[in-house]
Amino acid sequence: MWREVDIIVHSASITTFDDRYDTTLAVNVYGAKHVAEFATRCINIKMLLHVSTAHAWGYDKRVVPEKAFSMGETINGSRKLDVNEEKLSCEELIRELREKNASEEQITVALKNLGLQRARLHGWPNTYAFTKAMGEMMMRHHLNWNVPLAIARPAIITSTHRDPFPGWLEGFPFRHLDNIAINYGRGKINSFIGDPNTILDVIPADMVVNAMIVAMAVHANRSSYMIYHVGSSMSNSLRFAEFEDFIFRYFKNNPLTNEDGKLVKVGKFILLDSMESLQKKLTEYYALQSKEQNSLQSLPANLKRNINITMRVAEIYRPAALFKGIFDDTNTKALRATAMKNGVDLENLLCFDPGCINWEDYYQKVHLPGITGTFKLKRAML
């Protein structure tokens, strides 16, 4: 392979925000290191494209820059980050737990919690963003300086806008905003953590792919290192309040059925800015459904479990759901300009301009029908 490969696209990663720390480190961090080392050996290499995430810099800036990480850099600057130390922390925890005869389930829970603890120690909101940032560091550190490198940092990826057809999305169960939307449509939740003025940086999957293809063409055989935010917050922002309205109107007009086959009647979706308010609202909602007293302790076990799961998800998503900033896409706009200057058809063939998206039309006619169709199909197959 090292004699024949000329372009490498590295997009493999674990995208769950709170997966096991050892597994996420192995894939997102050391996987990037191994790819960089392999690319350095390739004698005909033209460029390497590494896919990261726009959330790698966390949520402490009003405008998140298309800026590279230095090896060992942290968001909060509290201490120098040592990737090998992170790996050792996992190995030590696993050894301690196995000496105590802990079950695999207990080890998994402990490693999930460790990832979140280590991420927050250094200023990152979750294990995913933390390990993707370390992956960028490893990629740049272990790649030969003369290999052209482009890093694509997509925002929240949604179903396709156009290609291969509108509304295509791979992956189930859903995560992020799609998980919120489907569980709201199912009547499982009526509220979530969030600020109506938060800008949800979402981008259709085909636009991410198109940006990657253009970046590959532009950087091939050109000594360079460039980072591209592929998102919409700078060019065509979508506020959480608009998303809130979109899902309410969609499921009001296109209701899902519950486990008993009855249509779910949704109420107005509510955004709350504190975890305490969210737990109170969910408890009231489930108490009304079960005709129990308005307290968490009086609810049936299955409803308590639903609330606990929702609260854990909300705690993980809280930094993003309350984030007031946007992601700079100056480099990505320059990439479009370069492609247009060279005659690339960015309107019909390789569009990655989020400015052309009508969010209401996209959510009502493309994205929400797409994810509800996928949900119905998967449920029918169970």
Q: In this structure, are residues 326 and 190 in contact, taking their beta carbons and an 8 Å threshold?
A: no
Q: In this structure, are residues 151 and 142 in contact, taking their beta carbons and an 8 Å threshold?
A: no
d(CA 240, CA 181): 12
Sheet strands (E) in the chain: 7-10, 47-51, 63-64, 149-154, 156-158, 191-193, 202-204, 225-230, 270-272, 326-327
d(CA 248, CA 316): 24
Q: In this structure, are residues 233 and 327 in contact, taking their beta carbons and an 8 Å threshold?
A: yes
d(CA 108, CA 156): 26
**Would residue 128 show up in a list of annotated catalytic residues for this protein?**
yes
Nearest residue to 233 (alpha-carbon basis) of 285, 155, 335: 155
CA atoms within 13 A on the CB side of 27: 16
Spatial CB neighbours of 139, under 8 Å, sequence gap ≥ 6? 10, 32, 33, 35, 36, 48, 50, 149, 151
Backbone angles phi, psi at 288, to 5 degrees: -65, -40
Task: Compute the radius of gyration of the chain from its Cα atoms.
Answer: 22
Q: Within 10 Å of residue 36's Cβ, how many Cβ atoms? A: 23
Q: In this structure, are residues 332 and 230 in contact, taking their beta carbons and an 8 Å threshold?
A: yes
Answer left, alpha or beta for residue 261, where phi above 0 means left and psi between -120 and 50 means alpha: left
Which one of the listed residues 128, 228, 317, 362 is annotated catalytic? 128
Which one of the listed residues 112, 132, 184, 286 is annotated catalytic? 132
Q: State both tokens at 139.
A: 């990629």
d(CA 60, CA 54): 13
Residues tagged active-site = 128, 132
